[in-house]
Amino acid sequence: MNILQKTIERTSNTYKRDKFLPIVVIFSFIFFVLASILPYYQKEQSFLKFFSPDENANYVFTKLYAQTDTLSIFEKYNLIADDIVRPRSYISSSGFIKPVSFLGMTIIYGQIARFIGIGLIPFLTPFFASMALIFYYLLIKKFFGRKNALVSFFLFFSFPVLLYYSARSMFHNVLFLSFLIMALYFLSDLFERRVSSVKRYKEKYIKRLFGVDFLFSALSGLFFGLAIAVRSSELIWLFLAALPFFILKYKKLSFFRLSIFISFFILALIPVFCHNQILYNSPFYGGYFEMNKSIEEISQAGGGIVRSFFLGSFNDVKVLTKSIFNTIFYFGFFPRQSLEMFDKYFVKMFWYLCWPTVFGLFYFFVKDRKRIKKFGPYLFSWLIASFFLIFYYGSWKFVDNPDPSSFTIGNSYTRYWLPIYIGFFPFVAHFVLNIGRIFFFLKNKKVYLYLKNSISLIVLIVLMFLSFKFVYDGSEEGLKYYFAKLDVAKEEVGRIIELTESNAVVVTQYHDKFLFPERKVIVGRFNDDNMNKNYYKLAGYLPTYYYNFTFPESDLKYLNDRRLKEFGLQIELVETLNQDFSLYKVYRPLPVFCVF
């Protein structure tokens, strides 16, 4: 029996001895079922539409890739209309509509969908999230023990952001986090094992090298690569967090381990590189213009820093370093705003987890310091990542909700900060497991243990209940309201489809995500002269409509008598669909001929 087989057998026996693992597996399946309720409902209603342009783009291109192996849609009318015929989260170049977002999720899900069918695409994120829950338990068990890992698992299992964005399954963030957790598990497993050496293992050296070392190096590199493929923008903070980690763990590194890790990391990215080259003319570019520009500036500044350092031009090094900092923090660096956002999206939003985290951290550093030696490098890296994510994303202004003053689970901060949240759970678990020590004065050990375990269980159930309640109806974007909005949107979109021709183009400000690809869409209004000129061109070839807030009679008269008239267009009401929105026909009026 070779080394690899022995490793697998030993690992299997370890899992068999873990009495909590069956519980973890069962509840992970329950999580999959819970997270699948929303996509199942959408499928049953024949309305697989999404409230975010990013979700819509990911779903449309995933289906396209599964069916055609391509990631672009040719729209011939864009050749005469300056590439404006496209929804948000798409770009168009010379008539070819392409994804703006990262390609990893689209490629991975598209490949899987070829084997299991495109109908199961919306269920893939719940599946990977349920797998991540198992790996999360196994990872936390390594550092905090089984009891803490089980409690942390249940906290993660019920965490509102995980459940919410697993149900809204076409966002990248949960898939990225899932691959990251898997990668961390295999990396931690690798670093628990001694580096293979000829002196130590002699004749078994080659077998061990290409068994254990190869397996865990490959898997950790592969899943890190898949995580970056899914969300390439996270590479910066992952690199910053990984650098000190690998330095602190240098004794566990070897040339072989590092080379296999990097090889499989790059292997996971090759499909993305290839499609980036096809779509954007560079393996390192994507659909985000700002990110492409940042990559150029960072690479140039990085090369300049190296040259300036060796030439002794330290003033240039300082200038170039500041340039890289400003490029990374493209939208500015606002520490106060970042802390305010963290206060809103953790301290206040998840108050019932925040304060147990504080008490758990205090207890951990006072009473359980012996674990710090083993857990220290991971904790240090997580702290670096957390600080970066707080100040990086916290400096941005996200307005996902129509009400900019509203702070809900649907705002982007919550999903971008998922890697921060999951680091808190072991400390919350520490609080849960040790709160029963308030009964320390009891002399009867059985009574003490019974009360201690009972109060821990009660606290855990209360925390989970608060989490489930929050994700269901705790904010205006809770899943309860999401289901209701779906029903309204289905009726609204269905009526628009009925009232418009199959080749129609609809100009809209908000409903592009629902209407595409069944209808051609343009995101716009009538306030831009160049857009109005393009509407005129398109109206000569296609039935053209406008769907937005209902115009008062005075505004409609102004549009027909002045604003649209100067571009050779007119607009007329087709139907008012609800109290806010109406569908209008945009057309070129027929010329008037006078007969003398």
Per-position DSSP letters for 240-276, written without gaps between them: HHHHHHHHHTGGG--HHHHHHHHHHHHHHHHHHHHHH
DSSP-H helix ranges across 474-587: 479-499, 512-515, 529-539, 553-558
DSSP-H helix ranges across 281-371: 289-311, 314-328, 335-342, 351-367
> Phi and psi at residue 443, in whole multiples of 5°?
-90, -25
For residue 316, the SS3 value is: helix
Contacts of 21 (CB under 8 A, 6+ apart): 15, 137
> Phi and psi at residue 575, in whole multiples of 5°?
-165, 140
In whole angstroms, what is the distance from residue 84 CA to residue 78 CA? 6
For residue 332, the SS3 value is: coil
Residue type, 412: S
In whole angstroms, what is the distance from residue 75 CA to residue 520 CA? 9
In whole angstroms, what is the distance from residue 446 CA to residue 28 CA? 32
Neighbour order of strands in the sheet with 73-74: 73-74, 96-99, 90-93
Q: Could you tell me the CA-to-CA distances from 446 to 193, 362, 454, 456 in Å, in that order?
A: 39, 27, 12, 15
Residue with tokens 């970056």: 228
- pLDDT tens profile 525-575: 999 999 999 999 999 999 999 999 999 999 999 999 999 999 999 999 999
Note the residue count of the chain: 596
> Phi and psi at residue 439, in whole multiples of 5°?
-95, 25
Q: What angle do CA 473, 467, 406 make, to 5 degrees?
A: 50
Q: What is the pLDDT of residue 322?
A: 72
Name the burial class of residue 1, with classes exposed (0-12), middle (13-18) and buried (19+) by CB atoms within 10 angstroms of its CB. Answer: exposed
Which segments of the chain have a pLDDT < 70? 1-16, 194-211, 288-321, 325-326, 369, 371, 373-374, 399-405, 439, 443, 591-596
In whole angstroms, what is the distance from residue 251 CA to residue 410 CA? 43
Helix (H) / strand (E) containing 41: helix 21-44
Helix (H) / strand (E) containing 61: helix 53-68
In whole angstroms, what is the distance from residue 189 CA to residue 10 CA? 13
Name the burial class of residue 306, with classes exposed (0-12), middle (13-18) and buried (19+) by CB atoms within 10 angstroms of its CB. Answer: exposed
pTM, two decimal places: 0.90
The DSSP 8-state label assigned to residue 550 in this structure reads P
> Phi and psi at residue 175, in whole multiples of 5°?
-65, -45
Give residue limits of the domains in the chain: 3-285, 335-479, 483-587
DSSP-H helix ranges across 417-477: 418-434, 445-473
Q: What is the pLDDT of residue 257?
A: 83
Q: What is the pLDDT of residue 396?
A: 80
CB 547 within 8 A of CB 508: yes
- pLDDT tens profile 240-289: 888 877 787 777 777 888 889 999 999 999 999 999 999 998 888 877 66
Residue type, 596: F
Task: Provide long-range contacts, Cβ within 8 A and 24+ apart, for 239-245.
Answer: 240/384, 240/385, 240/388, 241/381, 241/382, 241/384, 241/385, 241/388, 242/381, 244/377, 244/380, 244/381, 244/384, 245/377, 245/378, 245/380, 245/381
Secondary structure in 3-state letters for 206-221: HHHHHHHHHHHHHHHH
CB 574 within 8 A of CB 583: yes
